Amino acid sequence: MPELPEAETIVRGLRPNVTGRSIRKVHVHHQDLLRTDRRRFCALLQGRRFDGVQRRGKNVVLCLDDGSRLVVNLGMTGRLLVALPGERCESRHPAITFLLDHGGRLVYDDVRRFGSLDVLDRSRWRAWSQGLGPEPLSRSFTARSLRHDLGHSRTPIRSWLLDQKKIAGIGNIYANEALFLAKIHPYRPAGSLGDVETRALHRALRKILRSAVEARGTTLRDYRDPLGQQGSFGPQLAVYGREGGPCPRCGGVVMRTVFGNRSAFFCSRCQPEP
């Protein structure tokens, strides 16, 4: 569900509400989401203080006062909801509840339970983060570095973009939207992109992600920010979920195909078949 812009919106919403707060108690309602034993999970967190909130790819990262990090992957339907002291929480499918020192709560809610939570110490965090690809909005992500990373891969570019080891934070919505902007067919072998196309893709990725962050993400059905608000990028989607509709650029018909178990949307005229 949440991709980079949604995770970034969540991080920004969490920051003022949890930074400086301590964890009084942890309730685990569904331990299938934990990457570690529940007792260990609770023991590692109870009594800790949140020192800050970061994002890595589509993961929300809560930094703790002992240098460890609580890493939350939201899967398809994960939410991190905050309830201030005395407030009711809108969580319908709570999986993990963190009771905070001021009486408020942080709730990880997830209907489908595809998400995961883990506590990593400094060295495991470093190793985990290094296993992910570059941040597409960072300065070090350039057209040149992208061209280098694409290498000679024969994987369809849409699938390549979804691989978090190759590049972090891109999901199916923004992969499809960026390829549309760059006029590249989703099925093109990643390594076949030339310099001009690679520059277009690099530019398109940054543009679409920045715009979506500004709009506080896309809500198709489930996504909500920590206060329960929806993202507003939906109307700006050009092709995702618009099968049969008109291409906003050339008036052609938006097509849908399935590969890699995921839908791909594209304009058959603007994004020529490989």
Quickly tell me which residue has 């076949």 as its tokens. 192
CB of 102 to DNA, least distance (A): 29
Half-sphere exposure at residue 78, Cβ-oriented, CA atoms within 13 angstroms? 25
Binder to DNA among 108, 125, 141, 223 (CB under 7 A)? 223
Query: Per rule CB under 7 A, is residue 219 in the interface with DNA?
Result: yes
Query: Per rule CB under 7 A, is residue 141 in the interface with DNA?
Result: no
Structure tokens at 97: 């509840």
* Alpha helix (H) residue ranges in the chain: 4-18, 38-45, 122-130, 143-150, 157-162, 172-181, 195-214
Binder to DNA among 68, 91, 159, 198 (CB under 7 A)? 159
Binder to DNA among 218, 226, 255, 271 (CB under 7 A)? 218
What is the pattern of x (binds DNA, CB under 7 A) and - over residues 163-202?
-x------xxx-----------------------------
Distance, in Å, from the CA atom of 243 to the CA atom of 256, rounded to the nearest integer, reads 6
- Whole-number Cα distances in Å, 74 to 13, 56, 169: 15, 12, 12
Site size toward DNA (CB under 7 A) is 40
Query: Per rule CB under 7 A, is residue 73 in the interface with DNA?
Result: yes
Structure tokens at 137: 């909005």
Give the footprint of DNA on this chain (CB under 7 A). Answer: 1-3, 6, 32, 57-59, 73, 75-76, 93, 111-114, 153-156, 159, 162, 164, 171-173, 217-223, 231, 258-263
